[in-house]
């Protein structure tokens, strides 16, 4: 199949309505979308990404009214999160309605929904006229794509269309919150941070790996965000014997000389550039990427989560 790269919202939405797959930009990372209610189209996402069938998808909506078809009930926790953070880099998990196909939820009784704030994503979702189920638009196990070129690198010949937009502003995937219980649980840290959320929901807590992973967040079992190169986490003062000719990304300038180095302005810049830097290192045949650790506060928690997973 030929993968068409377009900037036409109309052309991309036509592909969705026709049962095809479209990669599109959001403020977090590029997503790979299909019509949520077209089970056959959704199943093509799993083939294109080589994604395990037990890892559910996030449904992307344009309007809050679409929720009524997707979830059983919008409880008070969900309602207040929606008011505060939709549209934005936040995903909420609620009990799924019977209308949502099983392959979207991977057979779970819950469903993840988000309303992206990126203007291109919003125009696209509006034009599609249906909720769009979409995981990140990378091959399973690779870093999420933050540019349309990275999508093409993984998906050329595997999907119908790429809606071409700018590099994503945030660069790490959305914050995921389970709203099904009495206390909201943070399943995946993101740009809307736990510290920020706790101002409004003091009881909110992060999901512990010792809890029942299968039912809470299937994606957490799968390896994620990994470049081919080995990722090593280092502090600000890099000491010891570094292998020469390798790569570094961080905020502080290291004393050592690296073949590839990326110095970021701050934690937000580091998060924005991380996944693309991983891909750049893979293209250059780098074997080890040294990544500076950051304090686990605010956005730093999301960044450290991704760094740790990549280093596993
Ligand atoms: O920022 C994002 O969220 C991007 C853009 C494209 O929206 N999407 C994204 O999708 O990162 P994906 O599939 O790569 O990650 C979705 C995560 C997975 O960890 C998955 O297991 C979890 O959300 N998830 C989906 N449905 C769930 C559910 N019903 N319960 C718990 N976790 C769920
Ligand atoms: Mg993903």
Question: pLDDT tens digits, residue range 180-238?
Answer: 998 999 999 999 999 999 988 999 989 876 665 545 556 555 556 689 999 999 997 77
Query: Measuring CA to CA, which residue among 109, 111, 51, 89 is closest to residue 271?
Result: 89
Share of the chain above pLDDT 90, in %: 86
Distance 58 CA to ligand 1 centre (A): 5
C-alpha angle with apex 211: 208 to 215, nearest 5 degrees? 115
Instruction: Dump pLDDT digits (tens) for 222-265.
Output: 556 689 999 999 997 776 667 777 999 999 998 888 999 999 99
Atom 31 of ligand 1, nearest CA residue: 217
Answer yes or no: is the C-beta of 31 below 6 A from any ligand 1 atom: yes
Q: Which atom of ligand 1 is nearest to the CA of 111?
A: 29
| Residue 233 three-state SS | strand
Pocket test for ligand 1, best of 45, 87, 91, 144 (most atoms within 8 A of CB): 91
Q: How confident is the model at residue 287 (pLDDT cuts 50, 70, 90)?
A: very high
Residues 24, 30 contacting (CB under 8 angstroms)? yes
Q: Order the strands of the 90-95 sheet from edge to edge.
A: 4-6, 161-163, 22-24, 31-35, 132-134, 58-60, 110-114, 90-95, 175-178, 185-188, 205-206
- What pLDDT does 257 receive? 87
Task: Decide: 108 and 57 in contact? Cβ < 8 Å.
Answer: no
Helices (H) and strands (E) in the chain, counts: 11, 15
Q: What is the pTM of this model?
A: 0.96
> Which pLDDT belongs to residue 221?
57
Burial zone of 239 (CB within 10 Å; 0-12 exposed, 13-18 middle, 19+ buried) = exposed
Give the model's pLDDT for residue 193. 96
Residue whose Cα lies nearest atom 12 of ligand 1: it is: 135
Q: Is 286 in the pocket of ligand 1 (CB under 6 A)?
A: no
Q: What is the mean pLDDT of residues 285-299?
A: 96
> Of all atoms in ligand 1, which is nearest to the CA of residue 105?
29
Share of the chain above pLDDT 70, in %: 94
| Mean pLDDT value across residues 18-30 | 98
Ligand 1 site-directed mutation target among 219, 221, 223, most atoms within 8 Å of CB: 219
pLDDT score at 152: 98
pLDDT in tens, 92-150: 999 999 999 999 999 999 999 999 999 999 999 999 999 999 999 999 999 999 999 99
Q: How confident is the model at residue 157 (pLDDT cuts 50, 70, 90)?
A: very high
With a 6 Å cutoff on the Cβ, whether 105 touches ligand 1 is yes
């Amino acid at each position: 199949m030929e993968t068409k790269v377009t900037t036409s919202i109309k052309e991309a939405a036509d592909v969705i309505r026709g049962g095809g797959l479209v990669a599109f930009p959001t403020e977090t990372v590029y997503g790979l979308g299909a019509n949520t209610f077209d089970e056959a189209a959704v199943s093509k996402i799993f083939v294109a990404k080589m994604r395990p069938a037990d890892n559910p998808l996030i449904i992307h909506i344009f309007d809050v009214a679409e929720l009524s078809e997707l979830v059983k009930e919008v409880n008070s926790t969900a309602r207040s999160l929606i008011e505060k953070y939709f549209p934005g880099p936040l995903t909420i998990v609620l009990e799924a309605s019977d209308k949502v196909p099983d392959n979207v939820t991977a057979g779970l009784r819950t469903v993840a929904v988000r309303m992206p704030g990126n203007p291109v994503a919003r125009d696209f979702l509006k034009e599609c006229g249906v909720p769009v189920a979409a995981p990140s638009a990378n091959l399973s196990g690779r870093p999420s794509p933050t540019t349309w070129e990275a999508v093409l690198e993984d998906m050329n010949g595997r999907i119908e269309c790429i809606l071409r937009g700018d590099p994503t502003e945030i660069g790490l995937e959305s914050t995921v919150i389970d709203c099904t219980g009495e206390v909201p649980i943070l399943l995946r840290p993101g740009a809307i941070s736990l510290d920020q959320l706790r101002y409004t929901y003091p009881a909110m807590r992060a999901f512990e790996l010792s809890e029942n992973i299968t039912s809470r967040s299937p994606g957490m079992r799968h390896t994620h965000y990994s470049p081919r190169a080995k990722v090593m986490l280092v502090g600000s003062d890099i000491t010891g014997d570094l292998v020469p000719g390798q790569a570094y990304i961080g905020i502080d300038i290291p004393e050592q000389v690296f073949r590839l180095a990326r110095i970021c302005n701050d934690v937000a810049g580091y998060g924005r550039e991380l996944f693309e830097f991983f891909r750049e290192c893979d293209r250059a045949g780098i074997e080890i990427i040294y990544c500076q650790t950051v304090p686990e506060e605010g956005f730093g928690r999301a960044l450290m989560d991704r760094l740790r997973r990549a280093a596993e």
